[in-house]
Every structure is written in C-alpha cells, then in structure tokens.
Amino acid sequence: MRSSRRIEDACRTDAAFRVICGGLVPDHATIARFVVDQQRALEGLFVSGLRLCAAAGLVDLSVVALDGTKMAADAALDRNRDGAWIGREVAKLLAATAAGEQAEPAGQAALAGLDATAAGEPASPRGRLARLQAALAVIEAEEAAAAADAQQKAEAARDAARHGRKLSGRKPKDPAAALARARADHQAALARAEAKQAERAAKVAAAHAAGRSLGGFAPGRDRALERAEAALAAAQQAAQTAPGALRQVNVTDPDSRIMKTAHGWVQGYNAQAIANEHQIVLACDVSQDANDVLLYEPMMTALADTLAAAGITATAALALADAGYWSEANATAPGPERLIATLKDHKQRRAARDRGQTSGPPPDGAAPADAMEHRLRTAAGAAAYAQRSRTIEPVFADRKHNRGIRSFRRRGLAAAKSEWALIHLAGNMLKLRQHRAAAPTA
C-alpha cells in the first residue's frame, strides 16, 4: 500500500494497522513527509531485508538474471517543453516573485512552525520555479554534451581525413554532424586522389628519364572523389534546409525521460533488477538510460556492492541477460560467467534450430559474438539460458500486474530509486514469509 491517504484510512478501520500504530491515526501529510524525509533510510532497508533472506537460505547465487522494465513517472508526455518556452516561464515567475516580495509588509516574520523548505514544495510558485530551472539545466547540459560529442567526432573525422582514411560506421542523423562527416570524407577522398596523381606523375617522370613511355590509360576523373563531392553537396543542402535541433525536457519531472515500450511511449524511467531462482531481488536500480546495453556493468557492480553490504561473501556464478544487454564490451567485461543472447529470444531459438546444436568450448580465436552464440547452442548453455525468463520476468509481472505498481508516485531520480528499492523490499519480505510458512515445523 503506497497511498498515504489509504494508509491513514486503514489506521482507522484495519485492526492490524491500529495495533501497529498503537491506536494513533497519523495524518496522510505526515506519512507523505516521512517518506520524503526518510528517503535514504528506506532505500537502505533493502539491504537489511536481503540479509534476512540470506539467513533463511533464499540468496542462492548459482544463477542470477538481469532485466529491466519501463516504469512511468508522475508526469505526462505532453508536459515536455523546449528551452525557449521554459525560459519565458522562468522569466514570468521571477517577475511575479519579485513583485510579491515587494508587496509584503516590511519586517513580516515567517509563520510560526512553517518549515523553511515549504517554499520549495511543488504546489508553490517557488517550487514550480525550481522545477523549471532544473528542466532548463537539463537542456543546457544535454546541449553541452552533444556539442562536446560532435566536436570529438569532428576531430576524429579530420584526423582520419588528414591520413586519407574514410570513416567507417553509420552516417550521423543530425544534419550538422552529417555535414562535418561529409566534409571530412571529401577531404579524405581528395587526399587519396592527390596521392594517386602524385604517384602517377612520379611513374611518368621515371619512364621519361629511362627513355620510354608509360603504358596504360591515363587516369580520368576519380570516381570516389566525385561521389564524395556529391555527398558533400547533399549534406550542405540538408543542413541549410533542416530545422534547428529542438531539445525538450519534462517540466513536471525533469529527471524523467521518454521511454519506448511494447505498448507505446511513456514518460518514465528504466527500472532494473537482478533476481535469483527463488525470485529474490538481489540488486535494483533506476536509470534515465532507455537502452539496457549501457546498464549491464553498472548493475553487476550494484550486485557486488549490495551483497557486500548485506554481509554475503559469495559471488554470482552465472549471470543471464537478454539481447538488450548484448555488446562485445559486456560479453568480455570482468565479473561472473554470463550468457547474453545476441538476438531477441524468438530469433535466438530460430537461429539455434537452423544452425543446430553444438558441443564443447568455443573455437580458439572466435569473436565474442561467435563464442557467445556457440555457448548458447550447446545443450548446457541452452538449458541455463532457459532459466532467465522464469527467474526475472515473474518479478516484474508480480510488481506490475499482481500489485498494480506501474508508475512511481514521487518525482525525481533519487525518489524513484528509493521507491523502487522499497517495492522490492516488500516483494522479498513476502517471499520470505511464504518460505517460512511452507517450512515444516519442528
């Protein structure tokens, strides 16, 4: 039960709540403030709960599974705004705040008992101003990071062009970045063409010096250079006609991000968890990154840190993850033995049927992807990876379907992390209660 109003009502009508509270009925605002004030402590309780599960023998680390789910924030998709809109609203609020302060009687004392942080509450103008300024800071930070990334890529492109190399990989989608890439490719093509011409001229001079003529056809227009010139002209045209980049951020919860789910887009967070075969959550975290591939190593680190904090000295023997976590870096990173699908599950099964089962260790010198696919096609690897879905996915199904927890109630990344830990603490305690109820009495 996460609603402070429902908890307040239960303290009046539910016998268990009345016993816990000793007959007192705390106001829902008091309960809500307690959750805010004790945010770090509530998050830390997850480790205490894991320690109890370990004492009951439920923290089996032979196989652990990692997965993520998109959780909605307490914010709407249509509340995303660009920097210009936010700047205008900030100016309006600053002007209104200055006018209000001038209108207050000089020397008026603060109301007795009013917390100094009350001005920062979301319902107040200052609270809205703080959120808008935080949203503006997010846009400025993203623009600075994008500019730094573009500068780094442009420098790499120029360096490659100086050596006559053409950059590999996909062309950037941003028109300005695509133009910088096209300029570098054109410079590289020009350098290669000039090198060919110089080489041809040197051969012609050597032939004349030897009193003979150089055979073969005289080189015509360099086709690679023509293609580079055409690509540069197209990139210049696209950059001139393309609208300026419009970065937006949610003004209700600036920390949240737009996430893609199977049912469409959601304003929220990427909530991660690692569970074992008893469906005990061993580590959890909340991220702003929509892509799981960036979260494998941080979650493995979180698992090690959480186990250490709970006083558990054992380490995970085998980690399982779906194709969303696949990368060569994740496949070769330090940590426990792992099986990470290189394709989505249905494609992985189809590929295994088409290519057949294999045995033994991967061939020497095999690329990380080939080695992982080889292991997944062995009988032991296929059986081990089959445990992933029944290990972690029921955890998310319980939280979202059985308990109806599909969104966070509080705003901000730190608040979401605390709430996610408390949600899994409750789930672990329920598993512990069921385990003890099922244990035979002496």
Residue 108 has a pLDDT of 46
In a domain, 52, yes or no: yes
Number of domains in the chain: 3
Domain match, 92 and 146 both = yes
Domain match, 130 and 215 both = yes
In a domain, 110, yes or no: no
Residue 312 has a pLDDT of 95
Which of these three, 228, 252, 276, is where a domain ends?
252
Round to whole Å and give the CA distance between 196 and 360. Answer: 50
Domain match, 278 and 411 both = yes
In a domain, 214, yes or no: yes
The answer to whether the beta carbons of residues 136 and 87 sit under 8 Å apart is yes
Which of these three, 229, 252, 275, is where a domain ends?
252
pTM assigned to the model: 0.75
The answer to whether the beta carbons of residues 432 and 53 sit under 8 Å apart is yes
Domain match, 186 and 262 both = no
In a domain, 132, yes or no: yes
Residue 104 has a pLDDT of 56
Token pair 């924030």: residue: 73
Domain match, 327 and 414 both = yes
Domain match, 380 and 428 both = yes
Residue 406 domain boundaries: 39-75+254-438
The answer to whether the beta carbons of residues 238 and 230 sit under 8 Å apart is no
Is the CA virtual torsion 330, 332, 333, 335 positive or negative? Answer: positive
Smallest CA-to-CA distance from 42 within 359, 423, 440, 435 is with 423
The number of beta carbons lying within 10 Å of the beta carbon of residue 269 is 29
Round to whole Å and give the CA distance between 42 and 368. Answer: 41
CA count, 13 A, side-chain hemisphere, 208: 6
In a domain, 109, yes or no: no
DSSP 3-state of 334: coil
Adjacent-strand bridge partners of 278:
none
Domain match, 64 and 142 both = no
Domain match, 280 and 424 both = yes
Residue type, position 407, single letter: S
Round to whole Å and give the CA distance between 97 and 117. Answer: 16
Domain match, 27 and 89 both = no
Smallest CA-to-CA distance from 408 within 274, 264, 269, 254 is with 269
Domain match, 6 and 142 both = no
Round to whole Å and give the CA distance between 32 and 42. Answer: 13
Q: Would you state the structure tokens that stand for residue 228, as one six-digit string?
A: 């580079």
Round to whole Å and give the CA distance between 378 and 43. Answer: 40
Total number of residues shown for the chain = 442
**Residues in the chain, pLDDT under 70:** 100-125, 150, 153-154, 156-173, 176, 214-221, 242-245, 345-346, 348-349, 351-353, 441-442
Domain match, 289 and 248 both = no
In a domain, 56, yes or no: yes
In a domain, 420, yes or no: yes
List CB contacts of 222: < 8 A, sequence separation 6 or more.
189, 192, 193, 196
Domain match, 243 and 296 both = no
DSSP 3-state of 74: coil
In a domain, 154, yes or no: yes
